[in-house]
Amino acid sequence: AAAGKLLVVPVDGSHWLSMRELLDLLQQKGHEVVVVAPEVTFHIKPAKNLRIKMYPVPFTQEELDEVP
């Protein structure tokens, strides 16, 4: 079997929590996974076993935390 390269642009929230498990499994199978996410998020955070490329956004973590 051959491994592939995946570029993932996830949606924050529960979608990410479900996707994270899938990405871990794909990496275990030899796939190269790169996640592109905003610097400020609810759940998407850097991890040692996941390659994440962050991009700047025009708001802060504090402003995001104030959103109901």
Q: In this predicted model, what pLDDT tens digit does every residue of 28-49 receive, in sequence order?
A: 998 999 999 999 988 898 888 8
Mean pLDDT over 10-18 rounds to 89
Please state the separation of Cα 68 from the chain's center in Å: 22
Strand order in the sheet with 5-8: 5-8, 32-38, 51-55
pLDDT at 9 over 70: yes
The ranges assigned to domains in the chain are 5-66
Whole-model pTM: value is: 0.80
**What pLDDT does residue 52 have?**
93
**What pLDDT does residue 6 have?**
92
Model confidence at 1, pLDDT cuts 50, 70, 90, reads: low
List alpha helices for the chain, DSSP H: 14-28, 61-65
